[in-house]
Amino acid sequence: MGYEEMVFRAIRMTGIPYLFREFIQKRRVTIVLYHDLDPLLADNHFSVLKRLYNVISLDDYINARKSGHMDRLPPKSLIITFDDGHKSNFLLDPVIKKHKIHVSIFLCSGIIDTNQQFWWNCPQLHQDDIQKLKECSDVERTEILTLQGYGARADSADREALSHEEIMEMASVGLVNFQSHTVTHVCLPRCSNEKAAEEIFDSKRDLENDYGFCISSLSFPNGDYSDRDIELVRSAGYECAITVDPGFNDGGSDLFALKRFCLSDSGNTDELIVKASGFWGFLRALVSGQSYGYQEANGRL
């Protein structure tokens, strides 16, 4: 057992994740985030999440907010989301059907159904380069990627995103809800007003026109957003937007800055339970001095 595995096992054995579930999460809605989860591990993760939580759809939460009937949601409600629309998500379809759970997948409309790479998979980039590109302006990022041989429509030998056929097959049963993750997964706060609007508006329009979906939600790429981006999402006609700010959601949460916990695509059961409970996010926020969204609008636990 590695060091990190030992840490998560130790935290789980303290019983703190249980206390978080029973006393903090119980009256709130938790949103968790995956990206590229292996089907075998997904089978295990979904089993654990179903045992510890009541898995609901994103629409369930949004409709409860709109109707003012949050009390109709089950205790310990949890929403499962996936960002990017990786082609391997299609392999999860049998697992989702087996467990009969609702999942939301946020798609990059300009990358799905193409052989275009996700920009961070450009072969010439190192991990440090990727982080730097997330922090520079979108113009500078595009220029650097172009110099590395990555173009706006650069094709790779292997498809990285879901195809039209796969998306439609997954959507056919009604358990998978597809939503927007912009057009090309830009860092929105680093974009000009025009580019940010294009990424937000065009993704919604294209997914609705090409797939017949009702696009009501947007997941901010990298979790990065600004007040301007929130206003653009509102103007485009979305009903909510999701961040990666750690915390829970309730009847008073900002619908355009919903909180979410990031889960590892390779984590074991101990790590899953600790992170899904919100305790890991609480520890990280405590160490970094960041705010942590576990309080209701009126400030009570």
pLDDT given for residue 297 in this prediction: 34
- Buried/exposed code over 1-27 (b: 16+ C-beta within 10 A; e: otherwise): eeeeeeebbebbeeeebeebbeebbeb
**Each residue's pLDDT tens digit, 176-229:** 999 999 999 999 999 999 999 999 999 999 999 999 999 999 999 999 999 999
Domain ranges of the chain: 3-106+166-181+240-288
At the top level of CATH, the class of 3-106+166-181+240-288 is alpha beta
191-204 pLDDT, tens digit each: 999 999 999 999 99
**111-155 per-position pLDDT tens digit:** 999 999 999 998 888 888 899 999 999 999 999 988 887 865 556
Q: What pTM value is reported for the model?
A: 0.94
Say what the alpha-carbon torsion angle 211, 212, 216, 220 is, to the nearest 10 degrees. 10
Own/partner pairs, 40-43, CB within 8 angstroms, 24+ separation: 41/265, 41/266, 42/92, 42/95, 43/95, 43/98, 43/99
41-51, pLDDT tens digit by residue?
999 999 999 99
Please tell me the least confidently modeled range out of 16-30, 214-228, 274-288: 274-288
